Amino acid sequence: MFQFPETRVVVTGGSRGIGEAIVAAFAGAGARVAAVARNPERIAETAARIDGDVLPFACDVSDEAAVSEVFGRITEELGGVDVLINNAGITRDTLVMSMKADAWDDVMSTNLRSVFLCSKAVLRPMIRQRGGRIINVTSVIGLTGNGGQGNYAASKAGIIGFTKSLAKEIASRSITVNAIAPGMIDTDMTRELGEGTREEILGQIPLGRLGSGDDIARTAMFLASEAGAYITGETIRVDGGMAM
């Protein structure tokens, strides 16, 4: 569908789930992909398993020094960055009344601070290249809120505000910044919820199925392609109609 020869792509949270599907989709379309995740063994295994040019990098994307060091290496090895996909994320669900500050801080750092740090790390190379695409993976929960996910919803709503602000700051440099808001996608994150909850959520999806990592990967490819050139500051729901 889309081809990305000689395109240099960085995907955070690239070892599993949605991130792995995005890495595989871009690598399959001819891109050189730097796949970043926390667990060094898992990201190395994923990179080895995927067909195409995939380089593994281990890094906690909420750690400023680690992000600066790893993105320095990525930029050097790839010779620049054309597309950044900020996808790494976690949940630590509980009602606000019983939420520990740790659970708030962990989710905000991994989901939101990371988007700021990784985006900042690619801005200079993208400005030098006179263009680039930044794609942030938020969630429909950032649009609707959800009981038991106050920390997660705040982090994902924060991504949407950040996306629009950065889009306005750097549009004049031909860099677009957009977000994708997945609904319920079949990954480790949602398998944790248990069959009962998954069935209940399935009943709220007009298209009648959970999403796949490929559904999100195809939207990321659209935004990174020429077809997405005139879109910036947008958040695209990919949720089978769940949050409409």
Ligand X SMILES: NC(=O)c1ccc[n+]([C@@H]2O[C@H](COP(=O)([O-])OP(=O)(O)OC[C@H]3O[C@@H](n4cnc5c(N)ncnc54)[C@H](OP(=O)(O)O)[C@@H]3O)[C@@H](O)[C@H]2O)c1
* Chosen residue from 23, 29, 37, 118 binding ligand X by CB under 6 A: 37
Q: How far is the CB of 75 from ligand X (least distance, A)?
A: 18
Beta-strand pair 32-37/53-58: parallel
* Chosen residue from 9, 61, 179, 220 binding ligand X by CB under 6 A: 61
Contact 129, 80 (CB under 8 A): yes
90 part of the interface to ligand X, by CB under 6 A: yes
- The binding track of 115-154 with respect to ligand X, each residue x by CB under 6 A or -, is ----------------------x-x---------------
> What is the C-alpha radius of gyration for the chain, rounded to an integer number of angstroms?
17
Find the farthest-apart pair of alpha carbons in the chain and give their distance in angstroms, rounded.
50
Q: How far is the CB of 131 from ligand X (least distance, A)?
A: 25
Q: What are phi and psi of 210, to 5 degrees?
A: -70, 155
42 part of the interface to ligand X, by CB under 6 A: yes
Helix (H) or strand (E) holding 122: helix 114-129
163 part of the interface to ligand X, by CB under 6 A: no
**Both ends of the chain: CA-CA distance in Å?**
27
**Active-site annotation holds for 230:** no
Closest CA relative to residue 132, chosen from 89, 181, 180, 167 = 167
Q: How far is the CB of 41 from ligand X (least distance, A)?
A: 9
Interface with ligand X (CB under 6 A) = 12-19, 37-39, 42, 60-62, 87-90, 110, 137, 139, 182, 184-185, 187-190
